[in-house]
Amino acid sequence: SAVISQKPSRDICQRGTSLTIQCQVDSQVTMMFWYRQQPGQSLTLIATANQGSEATYESGFVIDKFPISRPNLTFSTLTVSNMSPEDSSIYLCSVAYGGAGDTQYFGPGTRLTVL
Amino acid sequence: AQTVTQSQPEMSVQEAETVTLSCTYDTSENNYYLFWYKQPPSRQMILVIRQEAYKQQNATENRFSVNFQKAAKSFSLKISDSQLGDTAMYFCAFMRASNTGKLIFGQGTTLQVKP
């Protein structure tokens, strides 16, 4: 399985600011995803990070709020923009080596608290 | 739309005993994948087991096995010889056999293994 790292592991931010979360994989992967896990809740897919093109967002998530980059096959970033306390969550990236039916492996997550 | 339901918010088991976690799902698809992920307090999502819907044989992985009932849309996880390290939140997840790679998660079951 992949070795996936995320930075930062946690952060406390003021409302109205933005935070960029990085996801790095130790080898090239076909697909990268970003999920949100609100406190005490399950995981919800935010978007699929597409290499060299715009991310594909799920219903309820928009690019202005969660801009995503994927400049190559091993790296992606998620920005949480103009944060409010409701954005306090764990943000996780996941990767799949093969196609969409392939198993996804998750990074360690970034715990974000917005004051 | 697909949904995943885990009806047991919390469960406990004595060390060395066997426990079964329940999961049901709703879909009109015929081809799909099912997963169990484990999330210990460290919040790292760890793959436990994967099942392809076209396979009649139940997947097993060491002490972990599933009971996959396609007609009943049921996908339970059995943990044998429970260990303290099995204490975690367990999530059941569904993925369509398409080109999106989207994982749909259940609400999770918190499992406590008692010494």
Q: How many CB pairs under 8 A join A and B?
A: 60
Q: How confident is the model at residue A71 (pLDDT cuts 50, 70, 90)?
A: very high
Closest CB to B47 among A41, A90, A105: A105
Confidence (pLDDT) at A1: 64
- Mean pLDDT computed over A58-68: 96
Confidence (pLDDT) at B19: 98
Closest CB to A106 among B44, B99, B100: B44
Confidence (pLDDT) at A100: 64
Which residue did the predictor score with more confidence, B98 or A55? Answer: A55
Residue in chain A nearest B97 by alpha carbon: A101
Return the SS3 of A85.
Answer: helix
In A26-44, which positions are buried (b, 16+ CB within 10 angstroms) versus exposed (e)?
eeebebbbbbbbeeeebbb
- Mean pLDDT computed over A84-111: 90
- Over 70: is that where the pLDDT of B98 sits? yes
B36 touches chain A (CB under 8 A): no
Confidence (pLDDT) at B88: 97
Interface of A with B (CB under 8 A): 1, 31, 33, 35, 41-45, 48, 56, 58, 90, 92, 94, 96, 99-106, 108-109, 111
Dump pLDDT digits (tens) for A4-27: 999 999 999 999 999 999 999 999
Asked if A95 and A32 count as a contact pair (C-beta separation under 8 A), the reply is yes
How large a percentage of chain A has pLDDT more than 70?
Answer: 97
